Chains A and B, each alone.
Chain A
Amino acid sequence: MKPIYLDNNATTQVDPLVLEEMLPYFSELYANPSSMHTFGGQVGGKLRQARSRVAALLGCAPDEVVFTACGTESDNTAIRSALTVRPDRRRIVTTKVEHPAILGLVEHLKKTEGYDVVLLPVDGEGNLDLAAYKAALTPDTAIVSVMWANNETGVVFPIPELSAIARERGILFHTDAVQAVGKIPMKLSETAVDMLSLSGHKLHASKGVGALYVRKGTPFAPLLIGGHQERGMRSGTENTPGLIGLGKACELAQTHMAEENSRVRALRDRLEQGLLAAVPNSKLNGAKEPRLPNTSNISFKFVEGEAILLRLDQLGICASSGSACSSGSLEPSHVLRAMGVPFTFAHGSIRFSLSRTTTDAEIDLVLTELPKIIDTLRKISPFNEQNAMEEEKPACGC
């Protein structure tokens, strides 16, 4: 059975055109792009094309694009680079709602190297407080890292504005744009962003490829040191098929961006409005706008997210949840908690993330089936509108 895949913020299907572009570089065109022979030069030329395609999507120069192996590597490179080139500065400013690729790293840097890590709060809609942001940018700040779009809620931060504020204060600005690239038009040359991370598999390229944008003139220290690849900014022989695929995926993203913002957005809105109307005691998490056009995060009170996911899974519908049980941790999503979403809602949150492969019929099926699932689970649940407040009290000392 072909899955109904509404989990595109987790990963996406490799576009058939991307795969087609990649295949020769697994087989007959296997040369090392750094080699001096014509055979190697063929691959090197194709890699240059890929770099130009990525640059075109980002609105920057090709030599500002450094290929990496994933979004996490790009994030690690950016933050550690900034700390290396600003050895006298001890503060890292980021937000409470970042992806674990950033949060895990800064937590580690705090613990092992004693950095002063500031995690900026968000409001109930997931938006940053600009005054708090400005106040956090002290002269001791080595780097600011703020995600472009949130992976759980789709909420978009005003990166052009935030980066300009950092530049005024002489602070390096990095953004984890893994969810935003390909969905939001961007022209980095016209912003003050110094570094930006992206990941291939979130935009219909393969897993294991990413890129880091480094603005020309930005002081930089590499994470991987060795050979001369990527002009010494990222050593290691390039994953040529994957990166050539990334180039094609960026080219396709450009052509599909309008569809992403019209057809996909309309499908998302129909799903969201349909569910909120059909299911009582449900609510949208995060600001309605500005938001990624493909993402909707909805909470269903009195039921638990993992149970919803498993029943959707029975029908071949793939989504994800911010509930504690579905992640293997015991606490619900850090993003929803940072937004102050009460436990009663946070445990029952479901994230739908669509893509250009999503169809009308798929949305129809979810709209038919999900309200029934919620109804079934609510019949099993001891909680309802009448007793929920009361039941939030511990019965077990819990």
Chain B
Amino acid sequence: MWDYTDKVREHFLEPRNVGSIENADGVGEVGSIACGDALKLFLKVDENERIVEVKFQTFGCASAIASSSALTEMVKGKTLDEALTISNQDIADYLGGLPKEKMHCSVMGREALEAAVRNLRGEAAPEVEGEIVCECFGVTDVQIRRAIAENHLTTVDDVTAFTKAGGGCAKCHERIQEILTEATGTPAPASASSPAPAPKPEEKPRMTNMQRIQLIEKVIEEDVRPMLMADGGNIELVDVDRTTVFVKLQGRCTSCPSSGITLRTGVEAVLREKVDPAIQVKEG
């Protein structure tokens, strides 16, 4: 069981400012269902950019919900510029602290606030800045460096707790350690042996898993589905595991003896061409 403070429990059980604002001036969204947490923040401001109303919707664990609730209480009545000075540590402090493994929840709060303010001010969302370090959770070196600097992180575990980077397949741990070494000047602990050479960077721009999923969804929606529907069939995307795409054929496809061929020559071929030549499509 997590060691949550009373304040975290209170904000989880009785979250403040839940909901949406219909004519919000700014909306910020971060996270996704796939990542395990997501936060949508709604802001309304007066003519002096003072926040007069704020609401949130959160999908996530207790600390994600509590961090969101805390954030809304903290920004209420502040000007946007004042609100933007709130750091993830401030959110954690407001809650009397968060377990280290849950600090990324407070980071998500700060990122949602920044996104909502950008949206309100009509600023474009920044392209993914920097190099994708963690492909599982789509975390860049810029985000990692910022978390290291703002929270005085010293180990790969710290970085994972604050940014989620390295929390999936663990392939990027070496790269995170390099960034830590650059940023803090502390070399890797002696125990962290790293016999394998660092992977060579790929030539084409790397997609995060989530970007890949997004593209696969789009191609299925725009190219594959119309093709199948023409024959009275349909398709549902079930899951994506790296380059393996699991789909369910529906409608007439289910009884069609050539559905196996459809999968390979139709769906797979299109996805290989438009997304990634390594893709394999399976019925699942």
Contacts and interface: CB of A to CB of B under 8 A. Distances in A.
A124, A395, A398 pick with most chain B CB within 10 angstroms = A398
B151 interface: no
A330 B36 contact: yes
Interface in B246-284: 246, 284
Interface stretch (B172-180, B183-191, B198-206, B210-218): B210-218
B208 interface: yes
A393 interface: yes
Contact of A342 (B38, B58, B238): B238
A331 to B, nearest CB: 6
Contacts of A388: 33
Nearest to B246: A340
B137 to A, nearest CB: 6
A27 to B, nearest CB: 33
Contact of A331 (B33, B115, B168): B168
Interface string A302-320: 1111110011011000000
B21 interface: no
A330 B101 CA distance: 9
Interface stretch (B60-68, B76-84, B227-235): B60-68
- Tell me the dominant secondary structure on chain A's binding face: loop
Given A343-B33, A395-B30, A398-B35, A380 B58 contact: yes
A383 B33 contact: yes
A340 B34 contact: no
Given A397-B140, A398-B30, A383 B38 contact: yes
Contacts, number: 138
Contacts of A303: 59
A116 to B, nearest CB: 19
Given A303-B59, A397-B211, A382 B29 contact: yes
Interface string B1-30: 110000001001101001000000000011
Contacts of B59: 302-304, 380-383
Size category of the binding interface on chain B: 35 or more
Given A343-B33, A392-B217, A397 B239 contact: no
Contacts of B72: none
B208 A307 contact: no
Given A325-B61, A343-B239, A382-B58, A396 B33 contact: no
Given A325-B60, A340-B238, A392-B213, A330 B137 contact: yes
A328 B32 contact: no
Contact of B115 (A310, A341, A396): A396
B155 interface: no
A391 interface: yes
A310 B62 contact: yes
A128 B167 CA distance: 28
Nearest to B38: A382
A131 interface: no
Interface in B57-114: 57-65, 101-102, 111
A315 to B, nearest CB: 11
Nearest to A301: B33
Contact of A323 (B36, B57, B208): B36
Interface of A: 123-124, 302-307, 310-311, 313-314, 323-326, 328-332, 337, 340-344, 347, 379-383, 388-389, 391-398
The 7 A-B residue pairs with the shortest CB-CB distance, nearest first, are A330-B167, A325-B61, A382-B57, A306-B61, A395-B29, A382-B40, A396-B30
Given A310-B12, A380-B65, A383-B33, 6 more contacts: A310-B9, A330-B168, A340-B246, A342-B239, A394-B211, A398-B32
